Structure 1
Amino acid sequence: MNLTRAGKVTSVVAVSALLALTGCTKKNDTGAAAGGTQAGGGSGSKQVSVAFVPKLQGIPYFEAMNAGGQKAAQDLGVKWLYQGPTTADAAAQAQIVRSYIQQKVGVIVVAPNDPNSMAPVLQEAKAAGIHVLTSDTDAPDSVREAFVEQASTEGIGTALTDELAKAMGKKGKYAIVSCGETAQNLNSWIAVQKKVTAEKYPNMQIVSVVYAGEDQNKATQMASDLMNAHPDLTGLVGECTSSAPGVAQAVKDAGKIGKVFTVGLGTPKSMAPYLQDGSSSASILWDVQNLGYLTAWAGQQVAEGKQFQAKNHVNDAMPAVEYDPTTKVLLLGPPLILTKDNVGKYNY
Structure 2
Amino acid sequence: MIKAKKTLMVGALALAAVMTFSGCTSRNDDAGSTAGSGDGDSKIKVAFVPKLQGIPYFEAMNAGGKQAAEELGIEWLYQGPTTADAAAQADIVRSFIQQGVDALIVAPNDPDSMAPLLKEAADKGIKVATADTDAPNSVREVFVNQASVEGIGQALTDSIMTAMGGKGKYAIVSCGETAANLNAWIDVQKKYTAEKYPEAEIVDVVYAGEDQAAATSMATDLMNANPDLTGLVGECTSSAPGVAQAVKDAGKIGTVFTDGLGTPQSMAPYLKDGSSSASILWDVQALGYLTAWTGLQLAEGNAFEATNNVSADLPAVEFDSATKVLLLGPALEITKDNVDTFDY
Normalised by the length of structure 2, the TM-score is 0.92
Distance 1:39 1:292, change over 3 A: farther
Corresponding residue of 1:158: 154
> In structure 2, the residue corresponding to 1:191 is in which secondary structure?
helix
Q: Does 1:40 align with 2:31?
A: yes
CA distance in 2 between counterparts of 1:296 and 1:113 reads 20
Amino acid at match of 1:40: A
C-alpha separation in 1, matches of 2:70 and 2:180: 31
CA RMSD of aligned residues (A): 1.5
Residue of structure 1 in register with 2:85 after alignment: 89
Distance 1:37 1:74 in 2: 8
Q: 1:11, CA displacement in angstroms?
A: 6.0
**Which deviations, in whole Å up to 9, do the C-alpha atoms of 1:236-290 show, x marking residues without a partner?**
0000000000000000111100000001000011011111111000100000000
Contact 2:259 2:278 in 1 (8 A): yes
Q: Is the 8 A contact 1:48 1:78 kept in 2?
A: yes
CA displacement, residues 180-224 of structure 1 (integer Å, 9 cap, x when unaligned): 000000000000000001111010001110000000000001000
Q: Do the aligned partners of 1:179 and 1:211 also contact (CA within 8 Å) in 2?
A: yes
The one-letter code sitting in structure 2 at the alignment partner of 1:66 is N
Find out whether 1:50 has 2:46 as its counterpart: yes
- Asked whether the equivalents of residues 8 and 292 of structure 1 are also in contact (C-alpha less than 8 Å), the reply is no
CA distance in 1, matches of 2:65, 2:127: 17
Alignment-derived partner of residue 187 in structure 1: 183
Given the alignment of the two structures, is residue 216 of structure 1 paired with residue 207 of structure 2, yes or no?
A: no
Alpha-carbon shift at residue 44 of structure 1 (Å): 5.0
Question: 1:77 and 2:59 equivalent?
Answer: no
**Corresponding residue of 1:324:** 320
Q: Distance in 1 between matches of 2:18 and 2:324?
A: 28
Task: Determine helix, strand or coil for the equivalent of 1:80.
Answer: strand
1:315 corresponds to 2:311? yes
Out of 196, 199, 202, the residue aligned to residue 195 of structure 2 is: 199
User: Does 2:269 match 1:273?
Assistant: yes
Q: 1:239 to 1:315 in 2, by over 3 A?
A: same
Within the alignment, does 1:98 sit opposite 2:94 as a pair? yes
Residue 233 of structure 1 pairs with residue 224 of structure 2: no
Contact 2:61 2:289 in 1 (8 A): yes
1:46 Cα deviation after fit:
4.3
Q: Which residue of 1 aligns with 2:168?
A: 172
Q: State the match for 1:290 in structure 2.
A: 286
Q: Matched residues, percent identical?
A: 71
- Which of 105, 108, 114 does residue 109 from structure 1 map onto? 105
The 1:147/1:288 distance shift into structure 2, 3 A limit, reads same
Q: Secondary structure at the match of 1:276?
A: helix
Q: What does residue 4 of structure 2 align with? A: none
* Letter matched to residue 172 of structure 1: G
Aligned-partner SS, 1:262: strand
Does the 8 Å CA contact 1:210/1:222 hold for their aligned counterparts?
yes
The partner residue of 1:126 within 109, 122, 128 is 122
Partner of 1:338: 334
Q: Which residues of structure 2 form unaligned runs of 5+?
A: 1-14, 33-37
Kindly provide the CA deviation profile for residues 118-149 of structure 1, in whole angstroms up to 9, marking residues without a partner as x: 00000000011000010000000100000000
**Structure 1 residue 45: deviation in Å?**
5.2
Distance 1:10 1:263 in 2: 20
- 2:297 corresponds, among 281, 296, 301, to 301
Q: Cα deviations across residues 32-67 of structure 1 (Å, max 9, x unaligned)?
A: xxx655551554554211000000000000000000
In structure 1, what is the Cα distance between the partners aligned to 2:299 and 2:108? 21
Equivalent residues of 1:112, 1:118 under 8 A apart = yes
| Structure 1 residues 39 and 85: alpha-carbon distance in aligned structure 2, compared to 1, 3 A threshold | farther
Looking at structure 2, the residues matched to 190 and 10 of structure 1 have their Cα atoms a distance apart, in angstroms, of 25
2:11 corresponding residue in structure 1: none
Q: Could you tell me which amino acid in structure 2 is paired with residue 214 of structure 1?
A: E
TM-score, normalization by structure 1: 0.91
SS of equivalent to 2:201: strand
Q: Structure 1 pair 338/221, CA: closer, same or farther in 2 (3 Å)? A: same
User: Secondary structure of the residue that 1:301 maps to in structure 2?
Assistant: helix
When residues 10 and 339 of structure 1 are mapped into structure 2, their CA distance, relative to the original with a 3 A threshold, is: closer
Per-residue Cα deviation, 1:153-191 (whole angstroms, up to 9, x for no partner): 010000000111100001100000000000000000000
